[in-house]
Structure 1
Amino acid sequence: MTTGTEQDFGGFVRRARARDTIVVQPRMGFSDPALMRSGLAAVAALPVATAGTITVDSYTRLGDYAALRAALAAGENLNGYPLVTAGDRATRKVTQGLAHDNFQIQVRHGCPAPLDIVQAMTDAGLFATEGGPLSYCLPYSRLPVAESVENWRRTCDLLATLHGPDTVPHLETFGGCLMGQLCPPELLIAVSILEGLFFRQHGLRSVSLSYTQQTNHAQDREALTALRTLAGEYLTDIDWHIVLYTYMGVFPSTAGGARRLRRQAARLAVEGQADRLIVKTGAEAHRIPTVPENTTALLDAAGDLTAAAVLPVPGTDDCAATVLHDARNLIEATLELSPDVGAALTGALRRGYLDVPFCLHPDNTGRAASCIDQTGRLTWLSVGSMPLRPGPGAQPLTSGELLADLAFVANHFDGLEPRSGLRRRPLLDTEGIR
């Protein structure tokens, strides 16, 4: 049992899993401190193991504090909590007394230069956050990756100095969510592991490795198995856990479609042995969800996890070994470039050993391309210089084909033909597109 003052996010998740419980967590952030506290309090009060989220606003992510203060002075509602300008006293009032055995808080932001955010967070007594030198740079900014690596080195160094008897700083890599969609799993797995190694090299002893639900249930299950296997090989001397994100791309627009997708995410979490599940709501396709919508979705997810736990888990096939093999190739090719993981990451991008499809960042070579094949699996059209088997050499996607792939999951769960938009009977299978 904890005292409520212990700050050990990884230990909190580990204790939940010892009870065969997967922690559920919303994405939540409000600019008004009272509303932010009420949202966290509502999540903390649920009768299930939950992590609360303080999502930082976009002005703070960009470091544009002048624009932030102007927006607040004008009475604008922001898309998150202004952690840096709020000050530690105000933030402590937001979080005071909420942590308990079934609840801890994580700060989420999306910033390639996070030192201000992490300093403000830790000053306010919060020690769990997320990000990474690639995963919070390539999709979100045009900052040179070398600068992002240095920013994250300094951030990790700060967090590492705060380790103490009742404080274990925790950092989650966002590597398994690169671009949110249409990124084949071996690349997501590799970046998750590599960022985890970067965190460890710079003193972190508690990390989590992310993966986002994609287009095919069986492929996602194989990916989670591969991620867990590789974490067991590369991160043997620190505490780690796996966090699964409900689909990050275009969300179903119907209530039924959203519910089916969230239910499948819960089953994936169970079958893939995830330790934490990031839950989305039925409002995701239309607007920022309310606190009641978030708490309802969390309770639904907890129920779905319980229901999925009694279902048989399908066996693995040859594709699982392929995902594991390809992810390991990407990791090893990167690590061979330098004993310094940060230098290895920048070198791997420069050589194209890591190449994120559809990513327009200047440091990404952009020679790799992916698509959804006829079975609903994500596959490579071309691999560029990555140490993977060459793609089939097909023509690049047309704009129409790319838009169809982006809407593939939403159409499927809304009961539309995934690529034509024609109405058909909703698909309820749990093995992805057949």
Structure 2
Amino acid sequence: MRNKRLETDEFKARRQEVLKQWPTGEGVNFQEAVAYHKAMPRENVFAEVLAKAKAEGRTLAQPRAGVSLIDEHIAMLKYLQEEGGADLLPTTIDSLTRQNRYGEAGKAMDEGKIAGHSMLTGFPAINYGVVACREVNESVKLPCQVRHGTPDARLLAEITLAGGFTDFEGGGISYNIPYAKNISLEETITNWQYVDRLVGMYEEYGVRINREPFGPLTGTLVPPCISHSVSMIEALLAAEQGVKNISLGYGQCGNLIQDIAAVQSLIELGEEYLARFHYQGVMLTSVFHQWMGGFPQDESKAFGVISWGAATVALAKATKVLVKSPYEAIGISTKEANASGIKATKQILSMLKDQSFPDTPELLREKELIKSETRSILNKVLELGEGDIALGTVKGFEAGVLDIPFAPSRFNAGRILPVRDSQGAVRILDHGNLPLSKECLDFHRERIAERGKEEGREPSFQMVVDDIYAIGKGRLIGRPR
């Protein structure tokens, strides 16, 4: 396994096996799919809409949503488009499809048709096939993205891209370590090289497909240098396979200055590393995920969390924001609740569109800290891989040089512990084997010690636990009562 573009013959050989995984794979015809994409309206192409928004300095709002019955799914997307005012649309894939359990997904689809309502947690695109995916895309006037969480998304990519979707989320790290327990990185990186090569092939035929690594990872208290490192790796892996449109994502941590610094440094680092490895002509855009941790059960309080994320992204100037629903703490959201989250977010975006956050010393210091830590991690990864980012990633996780907090994977060291400082910024309590400089580690210790002194307690794992549950209880920092 190397970070090397797949040869045409090798890709074709793999493709024959991939398309045989489920009968609907027979409905994929690449040349016909290329012609279909070229005939699509430009306003339905994700990369086109993102490029326009980036040029204009606008932030686009996109919800998460997906149900199993196609008529309900289309009705929901139309509602989010027309009533919610979404700028971009999702199609969230069901959990059985994510695990490649297509037979079980099919049974649940049949049961849902009999019951008259969805029996799955999302849209089973593989079971529906290319024609149904096109029906979804043709029913709306906005670009649609495939959002999922699949370690092996090769067949899903084949069917949905042939079905007219113009954005595909995920990556070999971000859709493995936070999602799976026993799947090796060698396997998932190889799987996602296939996905990226497929996207690269569409690009070579003049079809723009956007790729979005999943930025938030485990979603709770992830230090920016961790998520940034994964984003850089997945961007480099994608670029090697010919991907030309990449959206780098980041999950809200809660401290305004740290979050703005993270969004701004994300694109700066992306441009730096793409240039370092001589990848040219890649359009980078940024994605901000509203708070991915626990939510208050009270709907009004949940709107407060959503609005804080909206204000943050408006000042950070990300190209896209993934919007949350006020029903996050209750269960799967209704289309009405999703629409209300979009409306609240877009109201804030509109009110703050002409305002910017000044380059204060605190903001500049935070940006340099994030960049320095990310570079330290990536330099060590490249050293372990002898210059190869794919090989270095595998060895980096083995050594704990790459380490994602609270991840279920047994291929993840799980040694680092993040915690908030006295102003709510995420710092590192235990750095495990992260290759950070003494200067950076001293800064983290000092900030955490300040909080401990204020609260009259020694920083410990209990402080981490308190922070995880804080927002659900109406606070950002988990201070003792």
Partner of 1:29: 66
TM-score by length of 1: 0.89
CA distance 1:338–1:128, change in 2 (3 Å): farther
Match among 350, 355, 367 for residue 320 of structure 1 = 367
CA distance 1:26–1:49, change in 2 (3 Å): closer
Query: Is 1:79 aligned with 2:121?
Result: yes
1:192 partner SS:
helix
Partner of 2:408: 360
Q: CA RMSD in A?
A: 2.3
CA distance 1:186–1:43, change in 2 (3 Å): same
1:209 partner SS:
strand
Q: Give 1:332 shift.
A: 2.2
Instruction: After superposing the two structures, state which structure 1 stretch, 345-354 or 201-210, moved more.
Output: 345-354
Q: For 1:144 and 1:3, how far apart are their aligned partners in 2?
A: 39
Counterpart of 2:466, as a letter, is: A
Q: For 2:90 and 2:460, how far apart are their aligned partners in 1?
A: 37
TM-score by length of 2: 0.80
Q: For 2:329 and 2:261, how far apart are their aligned partners in 1?
A: 28
Query: Is 1:196 aligned with 2:235?
Result: yes
CA distance 1:312–1:87, change in 2 (3 Å): closer
- For 1:3-402, what aligned pairs fall within 5 Å after superposition? 4-6=40-42, 8-45=45-82, 50-75=87-112, 77-99=119-141, 103-142=142-181, 143-163=183-203, 167-174=207-214, 176-236=215-275, 237=280, 238-316=282-360, 317=362, 318-336=365-383, 337-389=385-437, 390=441, 392=445, 397-398=460-461, 400-402=462-464
**Contact 2:143–2:165 under 8 Å retained in 1:** no
Q: For 1:93 and 1:290, how far apart are their aligned partners in 2?
A: 22
**Contact 2:249–2:288 under 8 Å retained in 1:** yes
Q: Give 1:312 shift.
A: 4.9
Q: For 2:133 and 2:339, how far apart are their aligned partners in 1?
A: 22
Instruction: After superposing the two structures, state which structure 1 stretch, 90-99 or 219-228, moved more.
Output: 90-99
Q: Give 1:51 shift.
A: 0.8
Counterpart of 2:366, as a letter, is: C
Q: Give 1:166 shift.
A: 5.3
Q: Give 1:372 shift.
A: 1.8
2:405 partner SS:
coil
Q: For 1:39 and 1:246, how far apart are their aligned partners in 2?
A: 21
Q: For 1:338 and 1:5, how far apart are their aligned partners in 2?
A: 45
Counterpart of 2:382, as a letter, is: L
Q: For 2:411 and 2:373, how far apart are their aligned partners in 1?
A: 22
Counterpart of 1:306, as a letter, is: S
Partner of 1:428: none
Counterpart of 1:358, as a letter, is: F
Q: Give 1:305 shift.
A: 0.5
Instruction: After superposing the two structures, state which structure 1 stretch, 160-169 or 131-140, moved more.
Output: 160-169
**Contact 2:186–2:394 under 8 Å retained in 1:** yes
**Contact 1:189–1:227 under 8 Å retained in 2:** yes
2:122 partner SS:
coil
Which runs of no fewer than 5 residues in structure 2 stay unpaired? 1-37, 113-117, 450-457
- Residues 120-164 of structure 1, C-alpha deviations (whole Å, 9 max, x = no match): 102212231110111100011121111111111111112211225
Q: Give 1:82 shift.
A: 0.5
Partner of 2:32: none
Instruction: After superposing the two structures, state which structure 1 stretch, 110-119 or 297-306, moved more.
Output: 297-306
1:126 partner SS:
coil
Percent identity of equivalent pairs: 27
- Residues 253-280 of structure 1, C-alpha deviations (whole Å, 9 max, x = no match): 2223222221121121122120000001
Q: Give 1:343 shift.
A: 1.4
- Residues 55-94 of structure 1, C-alpha deviations (whole Å, 9 max, x = no match): 0000000011122122223336211000000111222222
- Residues 137-195 of structure 1, C-alpha deviations (whole Å, 9 max, x = no match): 00111211111111111111122112256521211011x21111111111111111111
**Contact 1:21–1:49 under 8 Å retained in 2:** no
- Please identify which structure carries the higher helix content: 2
Q: Give 1:49 shift.
A: 6.0
Q: For 1:262 and 1:294, how far apart are their aligned partners in 2?
A: 11
Q: For 1:268 and 1:63, how far apart are their aligned partners in 2?
A: 37
Query: Is 1:419 aligned with 2:479?
Result: yes
1:50 partner SS:
coil
Instruction: After superposing the two structures, state which structure 1 stretch, 378-387 or 129-138, moved more.
Output: 378-387
CA distance 1:178–1:417, change in 2 (3 Å): closer
Q: For 1:165 and 1:119, how far apart are their aligned partners in 2?
A: 15
Q: Give 1:309 shift.
A: 2.4
Q: How many matched pairs?
A: 413
**Contact 1:56–1:108 under 8 Å retained in 2:** yes
Q: For 1:359 and 1:82, how far apart are their aligned partners in 2?
A: 26
Q: For 2:300 and 2:68, how far apart are their aligned partners in 1?
A: 31
Q: For 1:405 and 1:282, how far apart are their aligned partners in 2?
A: 21
Partner of 2:5: none
Counterpart of 1:129, as a letter, is: F
Q: Give 1:375 shift.
A: 2.3
Counterpart of 1:322, as a letter, is: L
